[in-house]
Amino acid sequence: EAQVTQNPRYLITVTGKKLTVTCSQNMNHEYMSWYRQDPGLGLRQIYYSMNVEVTDKGDVPEGYKVSRKEKRNFPLILESPSPNQTSLYFCASSLIGNTEAFFGQGTRLTVV
């Protein structure tokens, strides 16, 4: 089954404790991205990658890092989480171009 898999689904952590949210896709997509969803703001892109070892900032990259060492995986790293990073996070993958994206189930992160 074609899918995007994120882990964990829920995470509560403390300010400053490094964490990683994993994302994996099995559709051989070149394009992967991370979004955060906040009430009244819709989804905003954090980082994206158009291929292995090619990553770039989206609209809200501050406080986040990513890596793309393999085509299928695109982890999101929070080196020093802060409460304003409490949000619902989605990983997505797609082909290059103006095609639809496929989304993971989401990770609800709470930073206290």
Query: Where on the chain is the footprint of another protein (CB under 8 A)?
Result: 4, 31, 33, 35, 40-45, 48, 50, 56, 58-59, 90, 92, 96-106
Decide the pairing of beta strands 76-78 and 19-25: antiparallel
Which residue number, 59 or 79, has a Cβ lying nearer to another protein? Answer: 59
Which residue number, 63 or 106, has a Cβ lying nearer to another protein? Answer: 106
Which residue number, 69 or 98, has a Cβ lying nearer to another protein? Answer: 98
- Least Å distance, CB 44 to another protein, is 8
How far is 65 from 59, CA to CA, in rounded Å?
13
Which residue number, 3 or 15, has a Cβ lying nearer to another protein? Answer: 3
- Least Å distance, CB 95 to another protein, is 10
Decide the pairing of beta strands 107-111 and 10-13: parallel
How far is 29 from 99, CA to CA, in rounded Å?
11
> Do residues 46 and 35 lie in contact, with contact meaning Cβ atoms separated by under 8 Å?
yes
- Least Å distance, CB 65 to another protein, is 18
Angle, CA 37 vertex, CA 81 and CA 92 arms, to 5° = 95
- Least Å distance, CB 72 to another protein, is 18
